[in-house]
Every structure is written in structure tokens, then in C-alpha cells.
Amino acid sequence: MTRHIGKHLISLIPTMLGVTILVFLFIHLIPGDPVMAILGEHATEESIAALQEQLGLNRALFLNVDALGQTVRGETSVNEGLRTFFDSQYFRFLSRLLRGDLGRSIHERTPIAGTLKQKFPATVELTIFSMLFAIMVGIPAGIVSATRRNSIFDNVSMIGALVGVSMPIFWLGLMLIFFFGVKLSWFPTYGRFPVDLSLETTTGLFVFDSIITGNSEALKLSLKHLAMPAIALGTIPMATIARMTRSSMLDVLQEDYVRTAYAKGLRERTVIIRHALKNAFLPVITIIGLQVGSLLAGAIMTETVFSWPGMGKWVYDAILARDYPVVQVAVLIITVSVALSNLVVDVSYSYLDPKIRYD
């Protein structure tokens, strides 16, 4: 098992290297100039050149073709050619990452690591509760639909799952805000916590910090702010999990060992939970792991609609401001999160199914 995990982690190295190249390339192909976004359209050529030099944007993206040609022709030494080669924007970006330096925001002029410590916990908390909502609703709905096949509940739940998969997150978020925030005033329509209240934070996850400090009022307010964004973000994974649970359960319920369990006189609840569900859970676990990526991607729209101060809103603002370093770091973090979630799912297979072993 340890060897398998080690191989999986080692395989992430070329994957992450390829991601850094793609992210760096595509970000710079986006129309727009961050220097012009900062200085404005009436900036002078001197100020533009000075800011480009300060931000390192006047260097080659990957390599300096002129310097490489001079080295090949023998006009400059190999050391000089390598120096210009590693002085490109990409290799400076990669070397900073290897040193643990995430760089500085072009737009805000602040260290990205400091802002990330504030934004990342908010997105993690939203993702956790969105996934909890998806699992707590999707799995029971799929089980009941499978055990009551073609019933009214089955038809209604599967139609609801189809609608849930089809609804855009931003539209659902706006509808929740309109009905439950504006019309009924049940939940706050924006933000993560009231600005006029303070909360002692340890983990950055407001719900857990409220529980740790025993602040019941902060816990109530945190959950109320979290409710609508979590439902909006978790609706699509919930529908996907429900459909996969139903499909997997229908296959397992046709197996001989399930019929044998019923023939032995076991209660239906025991047969479903102890025999059928455990064996039907492998594809469901796979779907749950894959949904982590969709949750992190959907968080951009959800956080923008609800003004949630997390990574999604941060990345959205950075894209509009052409803040390349912020977008690059955010995409890399999302990639690592998806890769690690897939590793957790892969490892969990051996615990759910004893027949699976890693050599």
C-alpha cells in the first residue's frame, strides 16, 4: 500500500510540470495586458516600460531565441546562454514555486501566499458543506429509488436529479437569493459572516472555529451564510451521486447473494446496508472523488454570485484584472486538490473491497 501511494505521488511530478507549462502558456495567451490594466490607457511609454521591467514581463516567456542563436553560433558562452535561458518568465515562475514562493499579485501588489491563507479556508469550508449536502441527499435518494423502482418517489427523484444536473449554478444561485434571501428573508444574500461581529479563528473554517470556541451565535450565523451557497454548489454533485447510487444499487440487487440474504429472512434494512450498499459503493466513491474538481470549478461562479470571499471570487477578480500570478497559483492548487482526492479514492478501494490489493 505504501509503495502504491509513493508511486502515485511520484507520478504527480510530470503531471504538475505539464500543468505549470499549460497554465503559464494559456494565461499569457488571454487577450489583454496587465500593465495597461494597472496604469490605464493614457500611460506613457516610459511608465509602461518601467512597470514591465519591475514585473518581469519584458522577458521571454520560455526562452530567448536571439540569445540561443548567439550561443549556437559561438558568439556567447554556454554559461551566458544558459543564464538567458533560465531568465525566462516561465523558469523564474517555476523556480519560485520550487522554493515555496508563490509570488506577488500584480494588481494588489501583495504576496499571494498571505492572501491565499485567507481565501483558501473559505473555499474549503464551502466545498466541504456542499459535498456533505450532495452525499446526505444523493445517496439516500439513490438507495430509495433503487429499492422502490418505478415508484412515484423513484420517478420524482430521478426527474429532480435530471433537473439538478441541468440547472446552471449561477441561475440556481440567483433564484435562491431571490426567493429565500429577498422574498422570505430566511438567509443572508451575500458574504460569509456579519462584518460587525468578530470571531476568534484557528482553522479559518468559521463553522469549526465557532464549535471550538463554543460560540453558538457565531455558529448559527456561519451556517445561515453558508446554506444557500452550499446548496447551489452541491446540487449538481447531489444529482450525479443520486443517479449513480441508483444505477449501482440496481445492479447489486440482482446478485445471488442478495437473494440469498432475503431468503434467509434478514430484514430489508440489513440486506440493503450490510450487503448491497457496501458492494455498490465503489462506483459511488469514484463519482464523489471526481466531483471535487467540479466543486472547485463551480466555486468560481458560486462565490461570485454570493460574494463569498474565497478562492473562486479571488480568481474571478484576478482574471478581470489580468493578474497572471494569482490565476496560475489558483489553478495549480485546484490541480493538486483534484489529484490528491483521486489518490484518496484510489486508496479507499482496498478498504471497501478486500479483493483489491496493491502489489
Task: Please state, rounded to an integer, the average pLDDT across all residues of the chain.
Answer: 78
- Looking at the fold, whether 285 and 226 belong to one and the same domain comes out as yes
User: Does 75 map to a domain?
Assistant: yes
pLDDT(274) > 60? yes
One domain for residues 135 and 209: yes
C-alpha grid cell, residue 144: 430509495
Most confident of 37-46, 174-183, 324-333: 174-183
Neighbours of 227 (CB within 10 A): 17
Whether 25 and 67 map to the same domain: the answer is yes
Strand residues in 67-118 grouped as ranges (E): none
- Torsions phi, psi for 151 (to 5 deg): -80, 175
Query: In this structure, is residue 107 part of a structural domain?
Result: no
Is residue 109 assigned to a domain?
no
Q: Which of 48, 66, 98 is the last residue of a domain?
A: 98
Alpha-helix residue ranges (DSSP H) falling in the chain: 2-29, 34-39, 45-55, 65-72, 78-85, 89-98, 112-147, 152-166, 169-176, 206-213, 216-252, 256-263, 268-270, 278-306, 311-320, 324-352
Is there a single domain that holds both residue 94 and residue 142? no
Number of domains making up the chain: 2
Highest mean pLDDT among 32-46, 201-215, 225-239: 225-239
Share of the chain above pLDDT 90, in %: 2
Are 57 and 125 part of one and the same domain?
no
What does each C-alpha distance from 98 to 13, 78, 223, 310, 333 come to in angstroms? 12, 24, 38, 25, 14
User: Residues 50, 142: one domain?
Assistant: no
In a domain, 146, yes or no: yes
**CATH number reported for the structural domain that contains residue 166 in this entry:** 1.10.3720.10
Q: Are residues 144 and 61 in the same domain?
A: no
Give the per-residue pLDDT at 307: 85
Instruction: Copy the grid coordinates of residue 287.
Output: 463519482
| Residue 261 pLDDT | 77
Q: Rounded CA gap, 97 and 103, in Å?
A: 8
DSSP per residue over 200-215, as a string? --SSS-HHHHHHHHT-
**Domain termination residue (choose one: 49, 69, 98):** 98
Backbone angle region of 85, left / alpha / beta, with phi > 0 → left and psi within -120 to 50 → alpha: alpha
Is residue 219 in some structural domain? yes
Question: How buried is 267 (Cβ within 10 angstroms: 0-12 exposed, 13-18 middle, 19+ buried)?
Answer: exposed
pLDDT for the residue numbered 86:
66
Q: Are residues 124 and 247 in the same domain?
A: yes
258 plus 301 within the same structural domain: yes
Say if residue 306 is in the same domain as residue 190. yes
- Are 285 and 195 members of one domain? yes
Residues 20 and 58 in one domain: yes
* Residue 304 resides in a domain: yes
| φ, ψ (nearest 5 deg) of residue 104 | -125, 150
> What mean pLDDT do residues 64-83 have?
56
Pick the range with the lowest mean pLDDT from 29-38, 64-73, 245-254, 326-335: 64-73
Does residue 104 belong to any structural domain of this protein?
A: no
Residue 180 lies in a domain: yes
Q: What is the pLDDT of residue 89?
A: 72
**Range(s) of the domain holding residue 16:** 2-98
pLDDT at position 309 is 86
Distance between CA atoms of residues 131 and 125, nearest Å: 10
Given 49, 68, 98, which residue is the final one in a domain? Answer: 98
